[in-house]
Amino acid sequence: MEQKRYPVDLVEQAGLIVPRQKGDGYYDRFRDRLMIPIRDGQSRVIGFGGRALGDEKPKYLNSPDTELFDKGKTLYGLDLARAAIAKEDRAVVVEGYFDVIALHAAGIENAVAALGTALNAAQVRQLLRYTESKQILLNFDADAAGVKAAQRAIGEVEEMAYRGDVQLRVLSIPDGKDPDEYLQHHTATDYRALMAAAPLWIDWQIHQLIQGKDLRQADQFQQTTQAVVRLLGDIANADTRTHYVRYCAEIFSNGDSRLVPLLAENLLTQVRRQRRATSGEVKRSVAAPTPTPSASSLEQAEAALLRLFLHAASHRDDIRQVLEDRDLQFSYSHHRALWRQMQRLLTQPAPAVAPVDLVSQLRHHLADSGLVSAPLQSLLHLNEKTKRDILRAPLVIRAAAACMEKNLCEKRYRHFLALWEKPTAPPILSSLPTAKARSTPKNAGLKPWKKSARSPLKIWSPCPG
């Protein structure tokens, strides 16, 4: 380092050398290790990984966190995998550098790796920028350590998965092999077949809970059902919850179809009890609960208009026209920000922007500006509901505009009612000459203006409905 004139302090800050505990000088952090450069999204080297060439411990060693390198925010291989993730609409997350290298060498280029830590929500959000359907596949080792790593990763993003912000699947390679070992004896086509058959995370979790249990033993049956109930109780969607209740009942029936309805009813009762208990705890812990944004019909109406504008280019002029004719604006700040950005992109001197191009441009803009959030991400995704809305776009546009207009009228009503209920005269009346200021005898006896409790103000409004 000194021969290349790098300052020793700077090399130490980069984590390449470590001060000796005894005596002066430094030693090489990565001595006797195979070096793996770690790059950021712009392919700039920000750290290193090292694999021991002998029996040194640990077997794998990363650079320490520095101003440039943060293990919890970095994914190995992402700079090379971004295009493939967007093309295949799915990201594959594996455990180690060599798994990523082996997969890329086999032509499976949408693979990345976490760096010695459990996959966390920040890393998942990075990946979601590039997959429209929000699909992420975890392929950790099938040994005990790999299963624990997968469990930790699921725990990190479980809340996002329950909300549907990520479609998480878990791939376990047969015989406990990792991708590197598997591809030494199998083809990329074989690996892709495993990817296609990978179960959803919740199916994998259920399998892990049941695996190795003797459900004929009363105590193991009870422990397993309780664990399953806790898992299913957090599923918000009622249809999905019912599906998994039936699925688990079939497993617990041990092939006896006559027991399935009874087991399903029993499981469903326990899941409902679990949800009520959880709901009660939340209500007790929050002094003044506020409605969630998803419960707002206004937010849903605005979101429907924005989704149509994003994914149905032929109806963009209709949406602009109805907003202009009725003098409507979006009430939610993130909706207003998205609308303004769409208008800027569409008014640039360029050919007409197709829906997929507009979505792609917005995804990159939101990622670069740090405005990525779950509500905005959901708008960029073309889900089944949006596809149905496109088929009946004129009706959806009219209904959404009517909801927005109704909200505007209610705001105006509340504003004028507040003015009326003030003890002082309204601005229009207070601007008139008072009785004392008028000089004509006809008005000399007028009393000061006073609201009559028996004559409430009725405000006429042109609002529909």
Place of tokens 């376990």: 172
Give the DSSP letter of residue 434.
P
> What pLDDT sits at residue 444?
43
State yes or no: pLDDT of 215 exceeds 70: yes
Beta bridge partners of 45: 39
Q: Which of 312, 303, 310 is nearest to 393 (CA)?
A: 312
State yes or no: pLDDT of 281 exceeds 80: no
Angle between helices 238-252 and 218-232 (to 10 degrees): 170
State yes or no: pLDDT of 398 exceeds 70: yes
**Assigned token pair, 366:** 């939101």
> What pLDDT sits at residue 279?
59
Q: Which of 135, 193, 125 is nearest to 157 (CA)?
A: 125
pLDDT band for position 202 (cuts 50, 70, 90): very high
**Assigned token pair, 404:** 């927005």
> What pLDDT sits at residue 99?
93
Task: Output the CA torsion 309→311→314→316 (10° steps).
Answer: 10
Q: Which has more confidence, 227 or 345?
A: 227
Measured CA to CA, the distance from residue 429 to residue 419 in angstroms comes to 12
Measured CA to CA, the distance from residue 288 to residue 284 in angstroms comes to 10
Q: What is the pLDDT of residues 216-261, one digit of tens each?
A: 888 899 999 999 999 998 887 888 889 999 999 999 988 888 889 9
Q: Which of 72, 186, 198, 89 is nearest to 138 (CA)?
A: 198
> What pLDDT sits at residue 81?
95
> What pLDDT sits at residue 422?
65
Mean pLDDT: which of 185-199, 251-265, 272-286, 365-379 is highest? 185-199
**Assigned token pair, 137:** 């596949």
Q: Going along 100-244, which residue ranges are E strands?
A: 111-113, 135-139, 167-170
Q: What is the pLDDT of residues 405-425, one digit of tens each?
A: 888 888 877 877 777 776 654
* H or E segment to which residue 45 belongs: strand 45-52
pLDDT over 70, % of the chain:
81
Q: Which has more confidence, 455 or 218?
A: 218
* Of the listed ranges 179-193, 282-296, 308-322, the one predicted with least confidence: 282-296
Q: How far is CA 245 from CA 65, 217, 252, 261, in A?
A: 44, 21, 10, 10
Which residues lie below 8 Å from residue 71, measured CB to CB, with a gap of 6+? 62, 65, 115, 116, 117
Average pLDDT over residues 171-183: 87
> What pLDDT sits at residue 434?
44
What's the mean per-residue pLDDT of the chain?
80
State yes or no: pLDDT of 295 exceeds 50: no
Q: Which has more confidence, 351 or 329?
A: 329
Model confidence, pTM: 0.59
> What pLDDT sits at residue 415?
75
Measured CA to CA, the distance from residue 6 to residue 402 in angstroms comes to 67
**Assigned token pair, 107:** 């032509």
* Of the listed ranges 40-44, 135-139, 191-195, the one predicted with least confidence: 40-44
